[in-house]
Structure 1
């Protein structure tokens, strides 16, 4: 029997030499796919818009693989000019497809389209997430201590080993001092990463943690400028030497990522917003409360999405995989109504300050686009404004240049993993390689340092309701835990640790139990973590998931 929950180890990256500036070039166009997985999980049908005289090539690999060498060209049992059937799938495995459509042209170069898809039935979930580094701006820590404590507990209850670190606030007046503080923080993160033994590492920046500027780039097609990059913190091996801007301001040198990024990273920061949005710490507390409600499945199960921008066609096409084409609406961030959406992809309003008076978006995950929006260090940034609205948004990225590769979220991949899939596209420890996903949007951007994620990177699209009514009773046989499971639970996993800091040991051999569990060898002062487990039926198939954990402590006698 295949395990319902597995772990994966991320290898550290290796440093590479810097190369020249990005040169925008004609990119492979995006191919809109539609797919249906059979009920038994053994056959997948994919289709795409027909193109005259075009020849389709089908590539497949295990989902989670990376690098161009991992793709294998397959011969589907059925293949036409605009559809295919692969009937060689096995339940319990996840598959990733890439369809390339080549149309001979009258010119020297043919027309090429490329599309991606994931599918799988009974796909194993993740029991152990890894280490979460919770980096907090020390100037706001006291004001949001209670929400921060809840957030840290939620991360622990989701399988993360949490390490908190408070740091100085971003110094806008002294660029050299700010760079020194950022360098110190990066070294601390690297030390934690090197010492970690979990499957992955996530870095979550809360508050106005130091922002670094790097390179000289034109990702939005306007004047060259240094770009803000939180990816600097998530790169433990790349070379990021310092230089000076044309104005003589200290900054970092790389205009391209010097190495693959192995750590998920996201920023929750409302420091530079108009007072009309609200007080900075009030916005942080509201965000963390919303985050808590999403993790505990209190915001409803969401299977709708909206998208409305020709510059974001790669991201919008991914919605077909995540929620199904029939569940994708044509709408934008400020005109989608109050419908509860899972994802929203749109250009959005260009002026960030106006978001304070616009109808809020009710998408959990949002992609924004437009000139200057990638510069989250500026005042009233539109991406930050989306996150600050009194709606539902929990994560925002600047899409299109390059396109975000979101399709893995169809099998409950986190937004942080989708972020890494995007920034590492076409870069390996050996240097520049052919991209895994050649459809990058309107421009074939090379190793972009400006692709940042605003929000919590560890969030997944299909949360499950936790157990309720958890109680514990001492008996002669030991300690008996009882609880009420949600209706869609297949069982419950019970873990134990000497305290909230872990380490957590799976009880009952890691096997699921139903409704109660007796620990016949209880430890004084132990803490139990109880997590419901269930199979989520999604458009891409089905995937096992664990609900947010509920804790109970057994006091010492």
Structure 2
């Protein structure tokens, strides 16, 4: 096959020599489609622009659902004068694709043109776009952290679930692939994309030169390797070092793969790359600064901080030659997105340095740093090019890992966010007119074998790659702003500033930061407030999205802006804590401060039969002891509780009598004539009851501190006294409650009698040994 493919530089020269001999152009082999829709009764009318310079002889119309992988039989065959086809066998909120082929003649020669459109009537808004694996060059862990944080937030705001991984730029492609496959296998049905940021190791593969140059045969960059989850990639057979660029050399065991085409024919994941390494032509900025600039304009585009004009241009310096029409990638793709009347044949650089175009295509004989009739890398250094989505084609620079490569240059300046090498094979972006991201179109193009014709040479080869952010979409809406929340018991109220764009209203979605996005409102919110009830997660990410019924040149769909985030914590966490303790008085605290942001109810159970509904109550116990304290917290949606045991030991009483001199009271006379053996008898005679079973005194014997507790709950302590066996009073203190403690440590070792008086003036004695 390679022998039949002309080098692109030669093709360009021949085009200039022979273009006057034929009226056939890339535009005449493109059917520029657009569509209008009606809701009741439902219908879709697909129309096409008249062909210039040729005579149309017939049109054939095919239709399939967007998900179908083949085209059924034609649904209409029309005459050459037809300019549209109305389909009434359609339903609202169903995505369709139409293929329209046109036969036309120029003189005695018949040509076939192709056009594709993705359309529908009021297609539903997309809430969830799937899981994206974000693979970041670890060089930028710190230096690009702010921009990466914003980028991740932007992707989440558009419905992506982002899983982030850092890899070394010196790692092997195989090790990076292993990281991707492992993450993919965790949730393969929902994992849709892998986004490469920075100089993530570049896989090389194959033994070919899709630009047709013999000095360029070898391995080419192959980011599809990172999107192929099931194919077998080998490094054992290709042995070629003939290319002029050493990076294209491919020998067994060098880490570059053998495959020229995707091994199993399917790339499972969308793949994109933001890699601005090795671009020294932009000498006033470092690689880091180029990356920072890129993410700034990426964010600005998403939130519509600037407006790009919905139109496109095609700068064709090849024309139609030998069956190939490279610039059809411009005419055929751009028309359904911006409207066929809004696509013009214009010079790429001179137009875009002064004027905004959403889409731009350019092709011409090339080098690593230029394309004939377009410009060179310095054209992007010296000019701010104003095209958001770019398609370029020419020799050599499809090998995009080269220094100052022309394919990556547009990303380094101006407003350009994506670029692809569009011509071998052909690309298909028409789904973007109905809200798909450019990564979807990339994946469709990489997997195209025969679904979309003409495929162009090297369909499903390993070199087809997207430079730039794969998550970008064509139609953006200015988001709302300044979302605030007022909490209420069991609910809360969101409020925001409305978008300045004309919209139908707003949707509110919730996620826990990693989960799917769930719409909270049952119907579209037309005001700028929303009252939510119990939120489902501990940490809730609420997104307010403006909603517009987008009328594109391809159909109508409900489009949503980037979501404006409000993060709320809605879980309850009961934490029993305390502040100051004064005797039997304690200040309890709810020890989880985050609950201050919400309305909660509190119920304290103090363990003595008393309760409180204050957040931080103070409670005084009637008596010393051990109490189980419980707190129950409720936020109207959830309840949590915690218990803790608090001990309130009685204060240690130290005697006001030092015992060095006899203290005289009524007991002195009572014990004056008593012997040690008769003291208890004397006390009993005087009506002082033994404490056994009524009062507990422990430990006994004691080293000094004696704990005293009433064993009955009907009375409280009033007074405690201590006497020596010879009648000297050594302790006399008034007490309250049912427990206390006295300190006899200053007394001599020996036997003591403790006289306890309760609040009914009953007296009890206890013999205690001080050891």
TM-score range, shorter chain: 0.7 to 0.9
- Cα distance change on mapping 1:104 and 1:476 into 2, 3 Å: closer
- Cα distance change on mapping 1:218 and 1:163 into 2, 3 Å: same
Per-residue Cα deviation, 1:234-273 (whole angstroms, up to 9, x for no partner): 0000111113542344410101112211211111111110
CA apart distance, 1:456 = 0.5
Q: Alignment length, in residue pairs?
A: 511
SS at 1:545's partner residue? strand
Q: Distance in 1 between matches of 2:3 and 2:438?
A: 25
Aligned positions of 1:380-391 closer than 5 A: 380-389=404-413, 391=414
Q: Which has the higher contact order (CA 8 A, sep 6+)?
A: 1
Aligned positions of 1:44-193 closer than 5 A: 44-47=45-48, 48-49=50-51, 54-66=57-69, 68=70, 70-75=71-76, 79-88=79-88, 89-102=90-103, 111-169=111-169, 171=170, 181-193=172-184
- Cα distance change on mapping 1:324 and 1:356 into 2, 3 Å: closer
Give yes or no for the alignment of 1:394 onto 2:399: no
CA apart distance, 1:466 = 1.2
Check the 8 A contact 1:30/1:439 in 2, yes or no: no
Per-residue Cα deviation, 1:68-95 (whole angstroms, up to 9, x for no partner): 3x4331026x654543422314333332
Of the structure 1 ranges 143-152 and 246-255, higher mean CA displacement relative to structure 2 is found in 246-255
Pairing partner for 1:295 from 293, 299, 302? 302
Give yes or no for the alignment of 1:425 onto 2:448: yes
Aligned positions of 1:375-524 closer than 5 A: 375-389=399-413, 391-426=414-449, 435-440=450-455, 443-476=456-489, 478-486=491-499, 487-498=501-512, 500-509=513-522, 512=525, 514-522=527-535
SS at 1:283's partner residue? helix
Check the 8 A contact 2:362/2:392 in 1, yes or no: yes
Of the structure 1 ranges 81-90 and 361-370, higher mean CA displacement relative to structure 2 is found in 81-90
Per-residue Cα deviation, 1:378-431 (whole angstroms, up to 9, x for no partner): 100001111102x100010001111211222221221111111211111xxxxx
Check the 8 A contact 2:127/2:518 in 1, yes or no: no
Q: Distance in 2 between matches of 1:34 and 1:549?
A: 32
CA apart distance, 1:186 = 1.1
CA apart distance, 1:37 = 1.7
Q: Distance in 2 between matches of 1:98 and 1:45?
A: 10
Of the structure 1 ranges 340-349 and 193-202, higher mean CA displacement relative to structure 2 is found in 193-202
For structure 1, the 5+ residue unaligned runs are: 1-19, 172-177, 427-434
CA apart distance, 1:509 = 4.9
SS at 1:190's partner residue? helix
Q: Distance in 1 between matches of 2:274 and 2:141?
A: 13
1:276: which partner in 2? 283
Q: Distance in 1 between matches of 2:478 and 2:104?
A: 48
- Cα distance change on mapping 1:302 and 1:542 into 2, 3 Å: farther
1:317: which partner in 2? 332
Give yes or no for the alignment of 1:206 onto 2:197: yes
Of the structure 1 ranges 519-528 and 317-326, higher mean CA displacement relative to structure 2 is found in 519-528
Check the 8 A contact 2:218/2:240 in 1, yes or no: no
Aligned-CA RMSD value:
2.8
Give yes or no for the alignment of 1:553 onto 2:561: no
SS at 2:144's partner residue? helix
- Cα distance change on mapping 1:167 and 1:276 into 2, 3 Å: same
Give yes or no for the alignment of 1:373 onto 2:376: no
Of the structure 1 ranges 279-288 and 321-330, higher mean CA displacement relative to structure 2 is found in 321-330
Q: Distance in 2 between matches of 1:508 and 1:446?
A: 45
1:225: which partner in 2? 218
Q: Distance in 2 between matches of 1:105 and 1:328?
A: 23
Q: Distance in 2 between matches of 1:192 and 1:21?
A: 38
CA apart distance, 1:163 = 0.5
- Alignment TM-score, normalising by the size of structure 2: 0.62
Aligned positions of 1:338-357 closer than 5 A: 338-347=354-363, 349-350=370-371, 352-357=376-381
For structure 2, the 5+ residue unaligned runs are: 7-25, 242-250, 320-325, 365-369, 570-593, 596-771
CA apart distance, 1:352 = 4.7
Check the 8 A contact 1:367/1:398 in 2, yes or no: yes
Q: Distance in 1 between matches of 2:347 and 2:159?
A: 34
Check the 8 A contact 2:315/2:348 in 1, yes or no: no
Of the structure 1 ranges 346-355 and 536-545, higher mean CA displacement relative to structure 2 is found in 346-355
SS at 2:230's partner residue? coil
SS at 1:166's partner residue? strand
Per-residue Cα deviation, 1:326-379 (whole angstroms, up to 9, x for no partner): 222332431123322211111274375423543232111100111111111110
CA apart distance, 1:445 = 2.5
CA apart distance, 1:129 = 0.5
SS at 1:368's partner residue? strand
SS at 2:358's partner residue? strand
Pairing partner for 1:251 from 250, 253, 256? 256
Q: Distance in 1 between matches of 2:332 and 2:517?
A: 40
1:3: which partner in 2? none
Q: Distance in 1 between matches of 2:47 and 2:148?
A: 44
Check the 8 A contact 2:56/2:80 in 1, yes or no: no
Of the structure 1 ranges 148-157 and 79-88, higher mean CA displacement relative to structure 2 is found in 79-88
2:293: which partner in 1? 286
Check the 8 A contact 2:313/2:343 in 1, yes or no: yes
Give yes or no for the alignment of 1:538 onto 2:546: no
Per-residue Cα deviation, 1:413-454 (whole angstroms, up to 9, x for no partner): 21111111211111xxxxxxxx111223xx432322111100
SS at 2:43's partner residue? coil
Of the structure 1 ranges 533-542 and 367-376, higher mean CA displacement relative to structure 2 is found in 533-542
- Alignment TM-score, normalising by the size of structure 1: 0.85
Check the 8 A contact 2:34/2:46 in 1, yes or no: yes
Q: Distance in 2 between matches of 1:538 and 1:504?
A: 26
CA apart distance, 1:289 = 1.0
Per-residue Cα deviation, 1:458-478 (whole angstroms, up to 9, x for no partner): 100001111112110112352
2:749: which partner in 1? none
Aligned positions of 1:9-24 closer than 5 A: none
- Cα distance change on mapping 1:46 and 1:134 into 2, 3 Å: same
